[in-house]
Structure 1
Amino acid sequence: MLQIAAIQALLNESLTQIPSVLVDPSNFITDQREPVEGATHNEPQLPSLFLYLLNQFSKAIINQFIQECGGQPKTADPIGVVTAMIYSNKAYLWRGKSLIDILMAKFRVACPVVFGYRGSEKTEQGRARLGWKRESSGWISEQLHINQMKGLAVGYASIALRDFSKSPNTNPWPPSKYWTSLAKIVNTPPTEISNTQCVVLRSMLEHYEERFMNFYGTAAIAALRKALVEFPAKAPEKSPGAFALLGLSEVLKLNAGIEL
């Protein structure tokens, strides 16, 4: 909680105490917004320092998911809590809505698969579309790529599957966004399925199946069957990621009694 307090103190100072050039926030979001009655910030511009700090905060979130959560997926949830708290805070909304698009723009670059991007891991262009990173010497190793995708995918789930039912604030990236991401992956034509997609899908679901079912009930069971049974079954190449999805369906059967 000390970390959250420190972040909030910096953001508050940038809004009220430290002067900076005013800029139009609409350059950093995907929707057009009009003033909303009762909103804290309805003005056409916000301090550039405030937006810069949100940008730096978002970079740190992405880096933490990449560095920490691939090998230790359970460390993603506290990061998701901090992210949701900052981006849902009414003092940091613009015209009544969150500025979380700043974070999601970075997510789209780091893990395009959750936004429906597809590609072949056997081509340069395909790897780029899947978010496979390059170093000066060429593409990073497959193991490093897979580890990064795991961390980002579980991180995405930790943000999107938060329960705001008892909060006075609005969820900045609600579960419907998670559902959309899941649907975009599982509806991939069989010939375009990649190992990266399978890895991302598994990491989005593992540790978050119960929360997903709490939000969507029987519809979640149907979605889990599609993701963990039907999707890997239709993949033309049975990659390690595809086998891992099938394995997760067996884990759910053993540990939670969920028959898919």
Structure 2
Amino acid sequence: MLKEEGFTNTQSYPDRETTVHQLLDGKVQLLASSNTEIPAALKKIGSSMDDVKNAFTMSTDLVYIAFSKGTSPELVARWQDTLDEMKRDGTFAKIYATWLPAEIPPGIFQLVTEEYPPVTFMRDGKPSGFVTDMVREIAARQGIPDNIRLTSWKNAYNMALLHPKVVLFSAERTPERESLFQWVGPVGKNSAILYAKKGSGIRINSLEEAKAIAAIATTTNWFTEQHLKREGFKNLFSSPDPRSNVRQLMNGEVQLAASLKVGMRTLYRKLKSAA
């Protein structure tokens, strides 16, 4: 996954225990692993989850029971109905908690979003934000368990394209997306803005003028990026995390950043406080 994203700073090791040692000994700064395998690897070398922290969730992937081609659709449907019934009566959650007590089990519906305050963000270890609270309330009124997960927008978007019964929020309704999803809303409104660094002297009077800018930061699969691509822009630098766009703009790596009016100020404040 990292290689596909163009990473060139990875170090590969022959086994998981060696990799964990490299992290704990300070020889590497990050360790790419899954939430299910890292606890066992830490336990094997005499450590625990208290010795590490989640720095960033690269992706959330759903695991299935796969039937071979040619299996009766009626049989597959019976298995699916039985699994859904186990999720409704609590049996599934009980089995899941036996093996993965720290994890939220996947429900019949998967509720996914990204980190973009104040719309969606983590607060006190729990997804929060004004659209998050709306989705949580709607789900509660329908008896749907609160299994909201935060991941990158690219990952959340691809989950909604690939898997059934995925609730993706909050998403702008655009021509490119109209036939890809089914829609409930609106739950808010937003303005897409091209931001320049204060003091840069950049003046843009039209989108056509922006095409002459050397580099514009965009967020992968955001409607802002899709809109600029539709308008024929070739100078876009795409990143999966909107915080990267702000960082690139402040560092002078790009001259403009395509972002949303809601949340831009919060992203900038968080970036400055982390510096």
TM, length-normalised to structure 2: 0.26
Tell which has more relative contact order, 1 or 2 (C-alpha 8 A, sep 6+): 1
Structure (1/2) with the larger strand percentage: 2
TM, length-normalised to structure 1: 0.27
Query: Highest CA radius of gyration, 1 or 2?
Result: 2
